[in-house]
Amino acid sequence: MYDPKSAKAEEFICHDEVLATLDYAQKNKSNEQLIAQILEKAKERKGLDHREASVLLACDIKQKNDEIFTLAEQFKKDFYGNRIVLFAPLYLSNYCVNGCRYCPYHATNKTMPRKKLTLDEVKKEVIALQDMGHKRLAIEAGEDPVNNPIDYILDCIKTIYSIKHKNGAIRRVNVNIAATTVENYKKLAEAGIGTYILFQETYNKESYEYLHPTGPKHNYAYHTEAMDRAMEGGIDDVGLGVLFGLESYQYEFAALLMHAEHLEARFGVGPHTISFPRIKHAADIDPNAFLHGIDDDIFAKIIACTRISTPYTGMIISTRESQACRERVIHYGISQISGASRTSVGGYADAEREHDSEQFDVSDQRTLDEVVRWLMQMDYIPSFCTACYRAGRTGDRFMDLCKKMQILNCCHPNALLTLKEFLEDYASDETKKVGEALIKREIERVKSDKVKKMTEDYLSKISQGERDFRF
């Protein structure tokens, strides 16, 4: 029985409800009147439920589809402005006891060179990341209670936060590790993590069990209920995602929104972010062996429909996607992207990209300086801001800020301040030139005279060597 408030995976992601939703969406995909009504509701900016959103995703009326994309662009501008937050993944260990069929870290892959960073190596990686200009990381690890126990993860987090190299600092560590216990989530919360990210991979239980044949990850309910335990453990910000390509995208989309509705119903706050990974080639993984791959058009539509259905949720796209794809979908609601990523353990300190131990092929291989310049050339403000999290504006407090559309009042100047730090400390001359011109233009858009004056003051202090100002 479908119950968004239930703590049981099979009740809040109810298979029959997903099937009924897909049937409803299919039957109404050309229902112009209903689609117009749903779009009118979307314009109220309070979000859409999984059934309404699924009708939009299925919609086959060209003019209505154009409206969906236009609305998604508008939401992106209204809620997030032209800021794009940057981060990098940091792979700690590729030891893994699971048997995930899509991931080259699976335990039966005997050709994968296994590696786990020592704390000294973590330090080297972090210095390399700081030297690029990164301020936010997402740490990644395989699941292995012996090699990567929670204490190892906690030691790594402590080490990462402690490193202050030149003007560098990692100010927010997001964590992408396997589903764990409430007790361990409490420890992660106490360690001061940002978002706890866990991809569902697929919401379809039968496919899930087939794709995770061995290891603790095989347990669908334990994995699907992980965000509930994370929130019970005191983690305010959780990040959802499915790995597109494993199951039908319509199923995943409906279930993803049901998951978001469940968190809102049970904890009063939806997911902080939703990520959009698509399955990629990796060591012994051929993405074509999976039958549900999606093309760029569908990918863009999923992103646009998510944007208007969950207006307050951050949306993330990684370097799994090419520059061209990122350039296309960024306008439809993406708020965070990774840059200059290495998906192998120890990849940043290595001069060369190590292909044999990458978790997946990186499509966008540009440097952070190039990514920053590219964003600015498209009129986006690359942001390294971590202010909300550091000021305790997480969970419902952050959502409240979004819902009152206050995000633009403090996020815009904060983005400019962190961009200025990047330009001073890490940018090439060319990027600096583009960036200084952008800051000059953007500062004029700060509405309050007081905030504008303070921002100008902070910017000039940053030029003189001071760091870490925020609203």
| Chain residues that interact with ligand SAM, rule: CB under 6 A | 102-103, 140, 142-143, 176-178, 198-199, 201, 217, 243, 277, 279-280, 282, 285, 320, 359-360
Helix then strand then coil, % of the chain, to nearest 5: 50, 10, 40
Residue at token pair 């559309």 = 405
**Residue 394 CB, nearest distance to ligand SAM (Å)?**
21
| H helix runs in 360-406, sequence order | 368-377, 387-390, 395-403
**Residue 359 CB, nearest distance to ligand SAM (Å)?**
6
Q: What φ, ψ does residue 71 adopt, rounded to 5°?
A: -65, -40
At CA 397, angle to CA 52 and CA 263, rounded to 5?
A: 40
Nearer to ligand SAM, 139 or 408 (CB): 139
Nearer to ligand SAM, 290 or 471 (CB): 290
**Residue 42 CB, nearest distance to ligand SAM (Å)?**
28
Nearer to ligand SAM, 58 or 316 (CB): 316
Residue 375, exposed/middle/buried by CB under 10 A (0-12, 13-18, 19+)? buried
Nearer to ligand SAM, 138 or 381 (CB): 138
**Residue 343 CB, nearest distance to ligand SAM (Å)?**
8
**Residue 412 CB, nearest distance to ligand SAM (Å)?**
31
b/e map 123-153, b = 16+ CB within 10 Å = bbbbebbbebbbbbbbbbbbbbeebbebebb
Nearer to ligand SAM, 281 or 461 (CB): 281
**Residue 104 CB, nearest distance to ligand SAM (Å)?**
6
User: DSSP string covering 79-147, please?
Assistant: IITTEEEEEEEEEEE-------TT-TT-TT-TTSPP-B--HHHHHHHHHHHHHHT--EEEEEE---TTT
Nearer to ligand SAM, 128 or 175 (CB): 175
